[in-house]
Structure 1
């Protein structure tokens, strides 16, 4: 298996479930990461944790339904690390059925 040391990953959906688990594993492999989520508090806590363990982490609050915010995320990776080797897209959107149920209950 090739080394992930000093490779760069963008992880969308980093603060939830599988995103958190994968971020921890990639950090332990020495990857540089741009973590993205709609939860700035969790992002900053993750940044502090992994940087205290020696990882290089950049965070960005991103709504994946906003095209400009997603473009800005990729530009951030380019500006910060010069590249992005891996994209992990775990950001979720509410299902249409769930939204319809919410509207009915309002």
Structure 2
């Protein structure tokens, strides 16, 4: 038995995606896949040189991309980043919140400062971005 999936498509033409942590790893891969499906991609991270290289690669493949310097711990940069993305590519309709902390430990062993940092990036940042 098969079931049709309404609203299921890999065609993201006309969509604008904002990908945090896009300078490497999964964020870079998410950005490439979104672009290959037709989405315009705002690439956000701290390492602008890597973002510029990725944006150029996406453009060479026929896509649209813009590099945006963004530190996920800085609320002002999050808000400015969304504004820059929308000014360059249009209304952001897809958010891939990929920025995170690679050195987090088991919760019961984390110092309060690290807990605050993890929450800042993993909870506060996507909340601010989604509100924008």
TM-score when normalising by structure 1: 0.84
Q: Which residues in structure 2 correspond to 1:27-38 (within 5 Å)?
A: 27-38=35-46
User: Larger strand proportion, structure 1 or 2?
Assistant: 1
The alpha-carbon deviation at position 79 of structure 1 amounts to: 1.4
Q: CA separation in 2, counterparts of 1:55 and 1:75?
A: 20
Residue of structure 1 equivalent to 2:72? 64
**Between Structure 1 and Structure 2, how many residues are aligned?**
100
Please state if 1:91 is matched with 2:91. no
What's the secondary structure of 1:71's corresponding residue?
helix
Q: Which runs of 4+ in 1 moved over 4 A?
A: 96-100
Give the alignment's Cα RMSD to 1 decimal.
Answer: 1.9
The alpha-carbon deviation at position 31 of structure 1 amounts to: 0.6
* Higher RCO, 1 vs 2 (CA within 8 Å, ≥6 residues apart): 1
Residue of structure 1 equivalent to 2:33? 25
Q: CA separation in 1, counterparts of 2:48 and 2:88?
A: 19
Please state if 1:44 is matched with 2:52. yes
Residue of structure 1 equivalent to 2:118? none
Structure 2: any 5+ residue segments left out of the alignment?
1-7, 115-132
- Which structure is larger by alpha-carbon Rg, 1 or 2? 2
TM-score when normalising by structure 2: 0.69
